[in-house]
Amino acid sequence: MTDLPDDYDPDRIEQHWRDQWRDTDLYAYEDHEDRPDYIIDTPPPYPTGNLHIGHGLQWSYIDFAARYHRLKGDDVLFPQGWDCHGLPTEVKVEENHGIHRTDVSREEFRDLCIEHTEEQIDSMKETMDELGFSIDWSAEFRTMDESYWGKTQRSFVEMEDDVHRDEHPVNWCPRCETAIADAEVEKEDRTGTLYQVAFDGVETDPIEIATTRPELLPACVAIAVDPEDERYEGRVGDTFEVPLFGQEVELIADEDVDGEFGTGAVMICTFGDKQDVDWWARHDLDLRPVLTEDGHLNDLAGEFEGQTIPEAKENVAEALDDAGHLVDENSTEQAVGVCWRCDTPIEILSKEQWFVRIDQDAIVEKAKEVEWIPDHMYARLEEWAEGMDWDWVISRQRVFATPIPAWECQECGHWHVAEVEELPVDPTETDPAVGACPECEAEEWVGETDVMDTWMDSSITPLHISGWPEEITREEFEPVALRPQGHDIIRTWAFYTLLRTGKLTDERPWDTVLVNGMVFGPDGNKMSKSRGNVVTPREAIDDYGADAVRQALALGGQPGADVQFQPKEATSASRFNTKVWNITKFAAGHLDERTVDIEDPAYRDADRWILGRAAQVAERVDEAMQEYRYDSALREVREFVWHDLADDYLELVKGRLYEGRPGERNAARHALLTALSSSLRMLSPFAPFLAEEAYDALPGLDGSVHAAEWPTLPDFDEETVDRGQLVADVASEIRSWKSEQGMALNAELDRIEVFTDLEGDGALDTYDLSSAVNAPVYLESGRPNVELVPVGVDPDHASIGPKFRDEAGAVIGALEAADPAALKAQQETNGEVELDVNGEAVTLDADAFEVVEEQQAASGEEVEVVELDDATVLVYEG
RNA sequence: GGGCUCGUGGUCUAGUCGGUUAUGACGCGGCCUUUACAAGGCUGAGGUCGGUGGUUCGAAUCCGCCCGAGCCCA
């Protein structure tokens, strides 16, 4: 036991325990034989250097789950990875060093990226530590480490059947100069200009088309109309000349054309969008690529060659106008596909790339095996999966990523993929083990410079954390327990992981996906610098302490819901923490090392009540935790600690603790210790620092609260617990009565009389009550010695409703209109009541209503009446 | 355009497989130093549960429509 300072000081406590825990293996996964595994597929965040409060929410949920499952005796693995590869780091490194990535060798550039990433990770780890996450750092992984990306390569090699290298149109970001997957394209609403352009006919009348992309005219390969469109009847097959660029294109019919739009005629370019790709393939059209990889026009654009896309758009429009081909222009709203990393509008280029085949049905099937929380999030995955029409392009024309382990034969162009044994390998530095080309016997290889999509790295996290391939084979893989996941990346991280785990192991990756919402600012808007509503974890911790911030996040809503960060929730949590502190301080002063070992405590009803309540709370909280209802779990614990334990129980047993006889005093001590230690254990997932400090301060409790077990409490029969509850209620009512009277709460009373119709044979235990209210307590039965004045009736709708159906309203009306005193008399003498309802006699059971009585002291007596639900108390002030 | 989620006192939130007076917090008003706690206790005001129509004896809760917010997809 330690002496607790008077005031709750989160800074001191949290710093202290962070230091204590740092060098322990409190959170280590032990791979224990006889304890069930609980393995968490923790998200590997991108190392931006900045762990924001959204991460804070997500990791808080993870930590709640991890700490709860440890209490339940599970062998918990809470690893932490880092999804290092990617463009933003490359850009940052170029910026910081004032270089372009081609200024140095690939190797050197990679090293700079690694160095930068390590700094970013350190800073994020610091915030994680401050928030008190129980991460097992011995299971940390970084996708940029050879030991990890070697696995990414291995997974690539082992999926060889589903990998293909082909030329195919792909989404291309002209700023990042790389292919990107469908999932990395976002739609953004922008205002653009819709140009009406007239094409001269070749031996026929001109035709007008509408386009937002005049700069793609040089890429125009056809014009299409709806086959049903009467305006173009008989014209399909006509030939037209593309203005300014001169190529001749044919008018074709395709039912995908939206006849309602503009003139109903649309130009097909290679490629303006995915629709163009469909038409191009379906009608076997020419390929006229006019865009370069860095977003300029090429020589097919003639005089516009070398211009950027926006420049060319403007210049071509102007030239069309000058040449008399521009019929009209108006502004239009359009959804533009943009690169999710840099917001640059994407293009579609036809390029040789590596692809992974997508089997939509297989993915959906696995997704269905997973429990989604909340369950409607499954729909997002399903919708996305079913809408996929292109294979996943996994090659990227970048540097800082997992190398694609493949070489091209310089002689015959054969592509050779590495064998598992030679991994990890960087094909730009090492030749393949195979030696001569299996196709042509040549020995000159060129290593693939393309690298992998970072989702190739992060979509094998369940395999990695399960110990593949060193400890388990693919076949031995079993789904891990939990995947925490933001709903914004369901189409990527969840989707790809389902795909890859399914392909590699034939299993679902996890049992449960727990989707967290976003964290909004205190004003209810998305946090943004321009709004000035950004709350950083550090600021919040400085203001309220991590224990309070975690609670505020837990109470912000049910998992899956977006959470508005509310300073007042943190305030409220902080007050609760203070309360816990004070309770602990009080308890610690009354308990000693022997308390925990007290045998057969002589419990009184108050003790049985608090322990019974604690048992009930432990069960409810357990259920809520299992259902990931962290909000209701925490509410339940708080309610119990504050109201039952602090307000009621402590007040009831103070007398015994201060001056009780040894046996009775020990019973109170023992019950207090049990209830408090149970509370702290239930609280420990939410407020790990405070719970630990308090647990540590209680004499006789060994070890860390985080190594303790979920509370198991003695069983008491319901009646005993109810009697204790009544004692607590009476004490509480007398307390507020005294407060209302302006009396000191410890003011002495002459006596109180408790009238109760409590059933069962045990009499009310008034020992604690008497000292709590500071008055002798007399138990009475029957009617209090006061006037009972029936003042109304309280009908039981649940019983009258179904019985009388459409007459129920009239019955209740008659009941309420009747004289309460007469009803009371009938109820007591006959056990039922006859009523006149719309001229008909109706018989009501006695329990169909209750007569509400106000009890008034008989005149002349100095007595106050305090009424409870199931008792009436007479207070004699004396 | 399609889909999903949500709308409860000033603010945030619980309750939503129908059943009496709708939960709690923050804030606001009043009263109170009581041997853990004034970062406390007691108490008060404040809600036509987005609107509307329906089902039902009875709707915050179920159904239809409308309005509003947000997200995902096209």
Backbone angles phi, psi at A857, to 5 degrees: -65, 140
Distance CA A120, CA A175 (A): 24
Query: Nearest nucleotide by C1' from A803 CA?
Result: B57
Peptide bond into A469 cis (omega under 30): yes
Residue A862 has pLDDT above 80, yes or no: no
Assign A519 to helix, strand or coil: strand
The residue-averaged pLDDT of A538-544 equals 94
The residue-averaged pLDDT of A739-762 equals 81
Q: At what angle do helices A360-369 and A495-505 cross, to 10 degrees?
A: 100
Q: How far is the CA of A54 from the C1' of B7 (A)?
A: 24
Residue nearest to nucleotide B40 (CA to C1'): A579
Residue nearest to nucleotide B2 (CA to C1'): A383
- Residue carrying the six token digits 């060093």: A97
Q: How far is the CA of A743 from the C1' of B43 (A)?
A: 14
pLDDT at A823: 81
Query: Nearest nucleotide by C1' from A189 CA?
Result: B74
- The listed range with the strongest mean pLDDT (A185-194, A661-670, A761-770) is A661-670
Residue A488 · residue A353 · CB < 8 Å: no
Query: Nearest nucleotide by C1' from A577 CA?
Result: B39
Residue A391 has pLDDT above 90, yes or no: yes
Residue nearest to nucleotide B18 (CA to C1'): A798
Q: How far is the CA of A54 from the C1' of B51 (A)?
A: 34
Q: At what angle do helices A662-683 and A567-590 cross, to 10 degrees?
A: 150
Residue nearest to nucleotide B6 (CA to C1'): A561
Using one digit for the tens of pLDDT, what is the confidence trace for A482-539? 999 998 899 999 999 999 999 999 999 999 999 999 899 988 888 888 888 899 999 9
ipTM: 0.94
Tell me the C-alpha to C-alpha distance, in Å, between residue A795 and each of A811, A820, A840, A854: 9, 12, 19, 17
Distance CA A152, CA A142 (A): 12
Q: How far is the CA of A772 from the C1' of B22 (A)?
A: 33
Query: Nearest nucleotide by C1' from A578 CA?
Result: B39
Query: Nearest nucleotide by C1' from A794 CA?
Result: B20
Q: How far is the CA of A556 from the C1' of B71 (A)?
A: 18
Q: What percent of chain A has pLDDT over 90?
A: 71
Length of chain A in residues, anyone? 878
Binding residues of A for ATP: 529
Q: How far is the CA of A412 from the C1' of B28 (A)?
A: 83
pLDDT at A2: 53
Using one digit for the tens of pLDDT, what is the confidence trace for A434-446? 989 999 999 999 9
A84-105: burial string, b at 16+ Cβ within 10 Å, e else: bbbbebbebbbeeeeeebeebe
The answer for residues whose C-beta is within 8 angstroms of residue A716's C-beta and 6 or more apart is A608, A611, A612, A615
Nearest by Cα to A413 from A167, A235, A604:
A167
Query: Nearest nucleotide by C1' from A10 CA?
Result: B39
Q: Where in A174-291 does DSSP place strands (E)?
A: 178-180, 185-202, 207-211, 220-225, 239-241, 248-253, 265-269
Distance CA A19, CA A22 (A): 5
Please give the distance of CA A854 from its chain centroid, rounded to a whole number.
Answer: 51
Tokens representing residue A860 in the block: 């002349």
Nearest by Cα to A628 from A483, A737, A418:
A483
Backbone angles phi, psi at A618, to 5 degrees: -60, -40
Query: Nearest nucleotide by C1' from A571 CA?
Result: B26
Assign A170 to helix, strand or coil: strand
Query: Nearest nucleotide by C1' from A869 CA?
Result: B21
pLDDT at A180: 93
pLDDT at A762: 65
Query: Nearest nucleotide by C1' from A631 CA?
Result: B14
Residue A1 has pLDDT above 50, yes or no: no
Distance CA A715, CA A604 (A): 14
pLDDT at A560: 86
Q: How far is the CA of A212 from the C1' of B1 (A)?
A: 20
Strand A220-225 to A415-417 pairing: unpaired
Distance CA A438, CA A449 (A): 21
Q: How far is the CA of A291 from the C1' of B74 (A)?
A: 26
Q: Which nucleotides of B are covered by protein (CB under 7 A)?
A: 2-5, 11-15, 19-21, 24-27, 31-37, 39-43, 56-58, 70-74
Q: What sign for the dihedral angle of Cα A568, A572, A574, A575?
A: positive
The residue-averaged pLDDT of A424-432 equals 95
Residue A859 has pLDDT above 60, yes or no: no
Q: How far is the CA of A669 from the C1' of B20 (A)?
A: 41
Q: pLDDT averaged over chain A?
A: 91
Assign A399 to helix, strand or coil: coil
Using one digit for the tens of pLDDT, what is the confidence trace for A589-619? 999 999 999 988 999 999 999 999 999 999 9
Distance CA A304, CA A217 (A): 11
Nearest by Cα to A392 from A361, A363, A362, A354:
A354
Q: How far is the CA of A340 from the C1' of B70 (A)?
A: 20
- The listed range with the strongest mean pLDDT (A375-384, A780-789, A796-805) is A375-384
Q: How far is the CA of A585 from the C1' of B37 (A)?
A: 9
Query: Nearest nucleotide by C1' from A490 CA?
Result: B72
Give the number of other CB atoms < 10 A from CB of residue A323. Answer: 11
- Residue carrying the six token digits 């406590």: A13
Give A471's DSSP letter.
Answer: T
pLDDT at A245: 95
Peptide bond into A559 cis (omega under 30): no
Distance CA A77, CA A140 (A): 11
Tokens representing residue A443 in the block: 């020995």
Tell me the C-alpha to C-alpha distance, in Å, between residue A327 and each of A208, A210, A319, A321: 8, 10, 12, 8
DSSP bridge partners of A187: A337
Q: How far is the CA of A691 from the C1' of B15 (A)?
A: 29
Q: What percent of chain A has pLDDT over 70?
A: 97
List for chain A the helix, strand, coil content (%; round to 5).
45, 20, 35
- In one-letter notation, the amino acid at residue A598 is I
Q: How far is the CA of A552 from the C1' of B39 (A)?
A: 16
Residue A79 has pLDDT above 60, yes or no: yes
Reported confidence tier of residue A798, pLDDT bands at 50, 70, 90 = confident
Q: How far is the CA of A571 from the C1' of B43 (A)?
A: 22
pLDDT at A258: 85
Q: How far is the CA of A554 from the C1' of B69 (A)?
A: 23
Residue A557 · residue A517 · CB < 8 Å: yes
Residue nearest to nucleotide B58 (CA to C1'): A801
Q: Which of A290-299, A446-455, A653-662 has the lowest mean pLDDT?
A: A653-662
Nearest by Cα to A803 from A792, A815, A793, A791:
A815
Q: Which of A233-237, A260-264, A724-728 has the lowest mean pLDDT?
A: A260-264
Binding residues of A: 529
pLDDT at A799: 82
Strand A37-39 to A75-77 pairing: parallel
Query: Nearest nucleotide by C1' from A849 CA?
Result: B20
What's the distance, Cα to Cα, between the start and end of chain A in Å? 44
Query: Nearest nucleotide by C1' from A574 CA?
Result: B39
Assign A291 to helix, strand or coil: strand
Half-sphere exposure of A69 (CA within 13 A, CB side): 25
pLDDT at A213: 94
Nearest by Cα to A423 from A397, A452, A394:
A452
Alpha helices, DSSP H only, in A742-835? Answer: 767-773, 797-804, 808-817, 820-830
Reported confidence tier of residue A855, pLDDT bands at 50, 70, 90 = low
Distance CA A378, CA A694 (A): 41
Query: Nearest nucleotide by C1' from A638 CA?
Result: B24
pTM of the model: 0.93
Distance CA A520, CA A846 (A): 54
Q: How far is the CA of A527 from the C1' of B64 (A)?
A: 37
**Dihedral angle, C-alpha A777, A782, A786, A789, nearest 10 °:** 130
Tell me the C-alpha to C-alpha distance, in Å, between residue A632 and each of A373, A551, A559, A676, A687: 15, 11, 11, 20, 15
Q: How far is the CA of A743 from the C1' of B17 (A)?
A: 48
Tokens representing residue A813 in the block: 């009306």
Residue nearest to nucleotide B23 (CA to C1'): A635
pLDDT at A3: 67
Q: What is the secondary structure of A41-108 as a DSSP string?
A: --------S---HHHHHHHHHHHHHHHHHHHTT-EEE---EE---SHHHHHHHHHHHT--GGGS-HHH
Query: Nearest nucleotide by C1' from A650 CA?
Result: B36
**Dihedral angle, C-alpha A518, A524, A526, A531, nearest 10 °:** -150
DSSP bridge partners of A172: A179, A347
Q: How far is the CA of A729 from the C1' of B20 (A)?
A: 22
Residue nearest to nucleotide B30 (CA to C1'): A740
Using one digit for the tens of pLDDT, what is the confidence trace for A315-341? 999 999 999 999 999 888 888 999 988
Assign A736 to helix, strand or coil: helix
